[in-house]
């Protein structure tokens, strides 16, 4: 157990809908990163939040957005869902520092029909 929890574990949406995924960080961690893992692929970095501010973004369109709350939990929001958004979404928390270590949650499996 990493102490990082994600909800829901599975989700089915239709094209064009909006979705919100949630992540609770491990205690003491102030940084949250989100990754998208398509079937048969490695995870791809979406963005990172540090102390409630976006702190780096990967090659994802603006319809992917996020929030980090004062308790360091986080949300990933995706608007106007497309079929290609179907993937496992992973949240990882860490504490800042030169030798930071990421702790991953078990992910949310999103299916877009």
Partner 1 sequence: AQSVTQLGSHVSVSEGALVLLRCNYSSSVPPYLFWYVQYPNQGLQLLLKYTTGATLVKGINGFEAEFKKSETSFHLTKPSAHMSDAAEYFCAVSDPLGGGKLIFGQGTELSVKP
Shortest Å, Cβ 93 to partner 1: 10
Shortest Å, Cβ 112 to partner 1: 19
User: Given the complex with partner 1, which of 15 and 57 has the nearer CB atom?
Assistant: 57
User: Given the complex with partner 1, which of 66 and 105 has the nearer CB atom?
Assistant: 105
Shortest Å, Cβ 108 to partner 1: 10
For binding to partner 1 (CB under 8 A), which residues are involved? 2, 4, 31, 33, 35, 40-45, 48, 50, 55-56, 58, 90, 92, 94, 98-102, 104-107
- Ramachandran angles phi, psi of 51, nearest 5°: 50, 50
Cα gap 39→32, rounded to integer Å: 23
User: Bridge-partner residues for 18, per DSSP?
Assistant: none
Shortest Å, Cβ 57 to partner 1: 9
Please give the sequence-ordered ranges of beta strands (E in DSSP) within the chain, or none if there are none.
5-7, 10-13, 19-24, 31-37, 44-50, 53-57, 64-68, 74-78, 87-94, 103-104, 108-112
């Amino acid at each position: 157990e990493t102490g990082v929890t994600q909800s829901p574990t599975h989700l089915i949406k239709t094209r064009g809908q909006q979705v919100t995924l949630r992540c609770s960080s491990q205690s003491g961690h102030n940084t949250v990163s989100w990754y998208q893992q398509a079937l048969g692929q490695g995870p791809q970095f979406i963005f990172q939040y540090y102390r409630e501010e976006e702190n780096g973004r990967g090659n994802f369109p603006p319809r992917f957005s996020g929030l980090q709350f004062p308790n360091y939990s986080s949300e990933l929001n995706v608007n106007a869902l497309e079929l290609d958004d179907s993937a496992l979404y992973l949240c990882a928390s860490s504490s800042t520092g030169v030798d930071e270590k990421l702790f991953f949650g078990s992910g949310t499996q999103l299916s877009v029909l």
